[in-house]
Amino acid sequence: MIANIQDNIARVEERITAACLRNGRRREDVKLVAVSKTHPAELVRAAYASGVRDFGENRVQEANPKCQALTDLGATWHMLGHLQSNKAGAARELFHWVHSVDSLRLAERLAQAANPGDARLPVLIEVNLGEETSKAGVRGGEVAALVEQIAPLASLELRGLMVIPPYSESPEDVRPYFRKLRALALEIESRNLPNVSMSELSMGMSNDFEVAIEEGATIVRVGTAIFGSR
């Protein structure tokens, strides 16, 4: 199992590097987040030993004991899943990034949960570009308004956008969503709002991270291709 992870990471690394090269991008401009949800702490440790420094989880309850068991690593933890406002305090204690901000209420709770002297929390707005009613995220047309509301929250650092496209077997089917997310980020960036950066695009998972890199992803979130199926 653990030997597998080392091989899997080597393969994912090769694919990321190749996708960067094909598109004139630098490897260091794309952050690999290894999504460890449902997998035990020992496997996170194995991935860390293979050089991964960023890990993603999608539930506070599951992440809590895992992060505690691994504090010695000093890894960077990313919250990727839907977050209820009442878990904002716990999330702020565990995570260094939140990719799934989808309401002002959640952003305000995350901001209020800061302790004096805390570094600002990097956050991304999750966009629901598939207009899927079952999914979390803000509609494309509502992102700009939410950006303006979040910008004044001083303990947060708005860094960009995140998308989970509708599921498809074929990576080419999701390319238009990645392209749309990038266009949306560029449009918001062009407004030059104070305290707003749109430099991060969190997009691409095991099935489609190469296409996402081609379309400008700066963060890819890879679970299955590293840890195996869940």
Ligand X SMILES: *Cc1c(COP(=O)(O)O)cnc(C)c1O
Contact residues: ligand X, CB under 6 A: 35, 37, 58, 80-81, 164, 205-207, 221-225
Residue nearest to ligand X (CB): 223
CB nearer ligand X, residue 36 or residue 156? 36
User: What does 68-122 look like in DSSP terms, one character per residue?
Assistant: HHTGGG--EEEE-S---GGGHHHHHHH-SEEEEE--HHHHHHHHHTPPTTPPPEE
Nearest approach, Cβ of residue 148 and ligand X (Å): 25
Nearest to 217, CA basis, from 154, 174, 173, 158? 174
Nearest approach, Cβ of residue 190 and ligand X (Å): 27
Contact 66, 36 (CB under 8 A): yes
Nearest approach, Cβ of residue 194 and ligand X (Å): 29
Q: How many CA atoms lie within 13 A of 98 on its CB side?
A: 32
Q: How many CA atoms lie within 13 A of 69 on its CB side?
A: 11
Nearest to 73, CA basis, from 43, 113, 118, 116? 43
Nearest approach, Cβ of residue 100 and ligand X (Å): 7
Nearest to 181, CA basis, from 134, 154, 219, 224? 219
CB nearer ligand X, residue 152 or residue 228? 228
Q: Would you tell me the crossing angle of helices 143-150 and 104-112 to the nearest 10 degrees? A: 20
CB nearer ligand X, residue 118 or residue 167? 167
User: What does 16-30 look like in DSSP terms, one character per residue?
Assistant: HHHHHHHTT--GGGS
CB nearer ligand X, residue 149 or residue 168? 168
CB nearer ligand X, residue 7 or residue 118? 7
CB nearer ligand X, residue 72 or residue 172? 172
Nearest approach, Cβ of residue 207 and ligand X (Å): 6
Nearest approach, Cβ of residue 205 and ligand X (Å): 4
